[in-house]
Amino acid sequence: EPTVGAGSVKQQLSRLVSSSLRATVPEVEVEPMVEVSTKFADYQCNNAMGLWSKIKGSGTSFKNPNAIGQAISKNLPSSDIIESTSVAGPGFVNITLSNRWVAKRIQDMLVNGINTWAPILPVKKAVIDFSSPNIAKEMHVGHLRSTIIGDTLARMFEFSNVDVLRRNHVGDWGTQFGMLIEYLFEKFPNWQEIGSQAIGDLQIFYKASKQRFDSDPEFKARAQQGVVKLQGGEGKYREAWKKICDISRGEFDLVYKRLNVELEEKGESFYNPYIPQVLEELTGKGLIKESEGARVIFIEGHQIPLIVVKSDGGFNYASTDLAALWYRLNVEKAEWIIYVTDVGQQQHFDMFFSAARMAGWLPDPREKKFPRTSHVGFGLVLGSDGKRFRTRSTEVVRLVELLDEAKSRSKSELLQRLTENGKIVDWTEEELEQTSEAVGYGAVKYADLKNNRLTNYTFSFEQMLSDKGNTAVYLQYAHARICSIIRKSNKDVEELKISGAISLDHPDERVLGLYLIRFAEVVEEACTNLLPNVVCEYLYNLSEMFTKFYTNCQVVGSPEETSRLLLCQATAIVMRQCFQLLGITPVYKL
Q: Which residues bind ligand ARG (CB under 6 A)?
A: 129, 132-134, 169, 171, 321, 324, 339, 341
Rounded to whole angstroms, the Cα distance separating 548 from 553 reads 8
Contact 472, 535 (CB under 8 A): no
Q: Is the CB of 87 or the CB of 297 nearer to ligand ARG?
A: 297
Min dist. Cβ of residue 131 to ligand ARG (A): 8
Contacts 24+ apart (CB under 8 A), 544-549: 545/508, 545/511, 545/512, 545/515, 546/478, 546/482, 546/512, 546/571, 547/478, 548/508, 548/511, 548/512, 549/506, 549/508, 549/509, 549/511, 549/512
Choice between 80 and 265, CB closer to ligand ARG: 265
Q: What are phi and psi of 164, to 5 degrees?
A: -105, 130
**Smaller CB distance to ligand ARG: residue 169 or 445?**
169
Closest to ligand ARG by CB, 45 vs 337, is 337
Q: Which lies closer to ligand ARG via its Cβ, residue 141 or residue 485?
A: 141
Q: Which CB atom, from 100 or from 137, has the smaller least distance to ligand ARG? A: 137
Which CB sits closer to ligand ARG, 82 or 144? 144
Q: How far is the CB of 123 from ligand ARG (least distance, A)?
A: 19
* Min CB(172)–ligand ARG separation in Å: 9
CB 586 within 8 A of CB 579: yes
Give min distance, CB of 129 to ligand ARG, in A: 5
Give dist(CA 155, CA 580) in Å, integer: 8
SS (H, E, C) 83-129: EEEEEECCCEEEEEECHHHHHHHHHHHHHHCHHHHCCCCCCCEEEEE
List of residues 6+ apart from 406 with CB closer than 8 A: 440, 441, 443, 444, 461, 464, 465
CB of 586 to ligand ARG, least distance (A): 31
Tell the smallest beta-carbon distance from residue 341 to ligand ARG (Å). 5
In whole angstroms, the minimum distance from the beta carbon of 134 to ligand ARG comes to: 5
DSSP codes of every residue in 235-255: HHHHHHHHHHHHHHHHHHHHH
Name which of 269 and 341 has its Cβ closer to ligand ARG. Answer: 341
Least separation in angstroms between CB 332 and ligand ARG = 14
Q: Which is nearer to ligand ARG, 134 or 160 (CB)?
A: 134
Q: Give the span between the Cα atoms of 551 and 134, in whole angstroms.
A: 51
Alpha helices per DSSP H over 28-98: 47-55, 65-74
Nearer to ligand ARG, 374 or 436 (CB): 374
Q: Cα separation of 438 and 434, whole Å?
A: 6
Q: Shortest distance, CB of residue 370 to ligand ARG, whole angstroms?
A: 19
Give the Cα separation of 437 and 206 in Å (integer): 32
Helix (H) or strand (E) holding 373: strand 372-378
- In the sheet with 294-297, reading across from the earlier edge strand, the strands are 288-291, 294-297, 306-309
Q: Which residues pair with 92 in a beta bridge?
A: 88
Q: Quick check: 461 and 409 in contact, CB under 8 A?
A: yes
* Shortest reach from residue 148's CB to ligand ARG, in Å: 15
What is the Cα–Cα distance from 168 to 4, expressed in whole angstroms?
39
